[in-house]
Amino acid sequence: MATLHTMGQQQDRRSWAEPYKIKVVEPLRTTTRAEREHAIAEAGYNTFLLRSADVYIDLLTDSGTSAMSDRQWAGMMLGDEAYAGSANFYHLEAAVREHYGYKFMVPTHQGRGAENLLSQAAIKPGNHVPGNMYFTTTRFHQERAGATFHDVIIDAAHDTRSLHPFKGNIDLDKLQALIDQVGAQQIPYVSMAATVNMAGGQPISMGNARAVRELCNRHGIKIYLDATRAVENMLFIKEREAGYKDKTLAEILLEFCAYTDGATMSGKKDHLVNIGGWLATNDPDLFEEIRNLVVVYEGLHTYGGMAGRDMEAMAIGIGESLNLDYMKSRVGQVRYLGELLDQWNIPFVKPVGGHAIFLDARAFYPHLDQDAFPSQTLAAELYLDSGIRSMERGIVSAGRDPASGDHRRPKLELTRLTIPRRVYTQAHMDVVAESVKACYDRRDSVTGLNMVYEPKYLRFFQARFERR
């Protein structure tokens, strides 16, 4: 097994290590193949329905699964659990202002809480929302508020083999064409994600954000950022875009956010916490509305569904996420796994994104058509092989078209190996790579799944399947 633990650009072939040491350990449990056969059948071949006690290495998501630092845990003891005006809220507000630069913010229990508030406050029925690829909960709230979502990401994002350095970029011609078609007044905002989760954790460039801002300024359209993994995006800008090599992540982040009017945030990712989020804006009128709405759905505007201690941990996590050594190791660990898989020509989305390896299930199982749910199948196979848990990001996640009721058939049919922050080591990545290889070697014998239960909303979370 490769021991070369290389970083990004590959000029420096010296080994590197995680920039932290371990103070507390959580034992992992291994299972037998027979136990896993039973567990995955009980779970309806949906990895969301497995019990975590039956999972060995959990790569379901990087959401809320981070290891907090000793400083964050110390911050938890400083929780001010006052119903109103908690000191921790003011710390959080100050950290968001300092690093993201927005004037006003409300805390929310997690990202989708912020998406709900923004969608309700900004969208009117019949509106159109363009975005650089959909995200499940984000689009759901936009549609529920009466909007139609339009994917305006560049075509390269839908091509798993394209090596475009900024596959998250917005296609300005597609955006202009939509404005011409529906009219600027029907577009409450552009929904801009950095990085783009469903495209494989792919970044958007500073140049693109600036160009989108200019285009939107000409038409009086706002831009709301999904800032969930924005700091990860800033590392890619520093590495790949001219003029940013010598800037700090904090400087790059502030410039990027300045091209937008506000942001929704799932703190469960970049902020290195287990729960929390926020919604921020520079627009005083919108702020008035969301500060009022937050008390209906989340909690008072100084806690928004979070405990004081959680707001404190998040305020501290914001600072930690901007540390370059940390961020290089975070993205570097994902790349390390990619390099291992590449030795065996295993198909996955390239270039490697910020938070996960996205296996290309269409290329993995060319004999399965999309109705046999190749990504879902691969997630189940990986669990059966080793107890590693991954996530479907294909036809099941895409859901049904609200108008026609048909499956939406995304070009990308991916199985995501999502790396939690500061949780696993290189050795875990070696084990993961070997298990993926074992599944790849057996790929011809796999027959796919049938969906036997389909929930109405966000079906991927709770759908059930049977073997074909």
| Minimum distance, C-beta of residue 135 to ligand F0G, in the bound complex (Å) | 5
374 binds ligand F0G (CB under 6 A): no
Q: Which residue has the tokens 């520079």?
A: 282
Q: Which stretch binds ligand F0G (CB under 6 A): 130-138, 141-149, 204-212, 335-343?
A: 130-138
Asked if 277 is part of the footprint of ligand F0G (rule: CB under 6 A), the reply reads yes
58 lies in the site for ligand F0G, by CB under 6 A: no
If one asks whether residue 110 binds ligand F0G (CB under 6 A), the answer comes out as yes
Choosing from 79, 111, 308, 347, the residue that interacts with ligand F0G (CB under 6 A) is 111
Q: Name which of residues 429 to 448 contact ligand F0G (CB under 6 A).
A: none
The torsion defined by the Cα of 340, 344, 348 and 352, in degrees rounded to 10, comes to 30
Catalytic residues: 83, 135-136, 226, 269, 393, 460
For ligand F0G, which residue of 46, 119, 260, 266 counts as binding (CB under 6 A)?
Answer: 266
> Quick one: which segment of 34-42, 43-51, 107-115, 358-366 binds ligand F0G (CB under 6 A)?
107-115
Residue 169 within binding range of ligand F0G, rule CB under 6 A: no
Q: Which of 197, 205, 302, 426 binds ligand F0G (CB under 6 A)?
A: 197
Q: Which of 72, 191, 228, 370 binds ligand F0G (CB under 6 A)?
A: 228
**Interaction between residue 226 and ligand F0G (CB under 6 A):** yes
Closer residue to ligand F0G in complex, CB, 314/436? 314
Residue 390 makes contact with ligand F0G by CB under 6 A: no
**Residue 348 Cβ vs ligand F0G, minimum distance, rounded to whole Å:** 17
3-state secondary structure of 150: strand
Residue 459 lies near ligand F0G (rule: CB under 6 A): no
What does the binding site for ligand F0G look like in residue numbers (CB under 6 A)?
61, 63, 110-112, 135, 137-138, 193, 197, 226, 228, 266, 268, 277
